[in-house]
Amino acid sequence: MKRFIYKAKEKDTGKAVKGNIQAENEQIAGRLLVEQGYIPLSVVEEGAEGFLSKFKNRITNKDRITFTRQLATLIGAGLPLASSLRTVAEQTQSKGMKAIAEEIIASVESGKTLHDSFANYPDVFNGVYLALIRAGEMSGTLDLALKRLADQEEKDAAMMSKIKGALVYPAIILAVIIAVLAFMMIMVVPQVRDLYEDMGEELPDLTQFLVNMTNFFGDYWWLVLGVLAAIIGGIYFFIKRTPTGRRFADNFKIHVPIFGGLFRKLYVSRFARTSEMMLATGVPMLDSIKIAIGAVNNVVVEAEYSTALDTIKSGKPLSESIRDKNYMLPLVPQMASIGEESGKIDEMLGKAAQVYETELDEQINSISTMIEPILMVMMAGLIGIVVGGTLLPIYSLVNSVAA
């Protein structure tokens, strides 16, 4: 099935409408619109509307969290589902989210469940989202399910923001190092070379090396940029487009020095927090664990956790099923065991997740503090090499002339 973006008019009122529709081809999409009481004006396959339009209509985590939070509040206040959706659609500032909300309204008003309506947009609403919506609808606690979703997505977004923030500072320092080195190589090194040539003196080895580097980058900058672009593009394609690349990148994350432990805690806390949400909403144990595994977002960790499903199917408790996993930290099976004995497994898993989320916070701050002096030493060393190859030869030349 393909998705099409359409513009149409209502037959009865002539009101202009636009949205998305799924169909095999453009003709079937137009026929479906006619059957729904619309006069199609344009039907364009999604993806053919251009990169700029797709970028403008991109739905961010913030858009989804706001949508979910507002919907939970309105449903909790007692408003009918369709009225709540319509109010949220009117309030949202995101064009992409607004278009999807309007389609969901039409789907719900046609008799479909909210879960089935959301399921048409798997790129926006993931498996965790859909499972909680289904559980909320079945148990009559849709507002609570939506609130849990919004809370969890906010926590996850905040945690990822902190991790990215810990990487921003090193990136800025590296950019400064590159900029300083480029300035020295472009502006200073050629002047030192010219000075030595005018004096008829032979360049020191370090200075000659810097001159050769400057000449190479000056003559072949286009080749350097092309090679860098090819390497970056190749790595991106390998990681994003191939299963082997995705596995390699995910394996690297959990084994890389310094950050490996951080990522392991992140994945364990995601697993525990998602399991807590699923079980608290009434989702069966096996389904809860299966969805929680998918929420980890690391194929290596997911593959290992998935072996626990067969153990659970054989009748063994969750705590025993996840105890001996390489990428499962010990507190989770311990808390799960306590929860199984007390009948509060969801609550215990939530506490385990809270512990690791707190540790993540502290570890991110520690890493940021630790990286700073390391980068400063790197910067001093690299700049020292350039300074040693430029300023020191000048002093040496001046001293030789003075003598």
- Cβ atoms of 70 and 150 within 8 Å: the answer is no
What was the pLDDT predicted at 52?
39
Q: Give the DSSP letter of residue 403.
A: -
What was the pLDDT predicted at 50?
47
What was the pLDDT predicted at 332?
93
Least confident of 96-105, 166-175, 299-308: 166-175
Q: Give the CATH number, domain containing residue 364.
A: 1.20.81.30
Do 348 and 305 lie in one domain? The reply is yes
Of the residues 102, 136, 153, the one at which a domain ends: 153
Q: How many domains does the chain have?
A: 3
pLDDT tens column, 18-50: 777 777 777 787 788 888 888 777 777 765 544
Do 85 and 147 lie in one domain? The reply is yes
The stretches of 140-204 forming alpha helices (DSSP H) are: 142-183, 189-199
Considering the chain, what is the average pLDDT of its residues?
83
pLDDT tens column, 64-82: 888 989 998 999 888 888 8
User: Does the pLDDT at position 121 exceed 50?
Assistant: yes
Pick from 66, 169, 126: nearest CA to 297: 126
What was the pLDDT predicted at 46?
67
What was the pLDDT predicted at 82?
87
Do 7 and 101 lie in one domain? The reply is no
Q: Give the CATH number, domain containing residue 13.
A: 3.10.20
Give the 3-state secondary structure of residue 67: helix
Do 95 and 190 lie in one domain? The reply is no
235 or 194: whose pLDDT is higher?
235
What is the average per-residue pLDDT within 329-344? 92
pLDDT tens column, 287-311: 889 888 888 889 999 999 999 998 9
- Domain extent at residue 298: 156-403
% of the chain at pLDDT higher than 90: 19
Do 104 and 212 lie in one domain? The reply is no
Q: What order do you get walking across the sheet with 16-23 strand by strand? A: 16-23, 2-10, 38-45
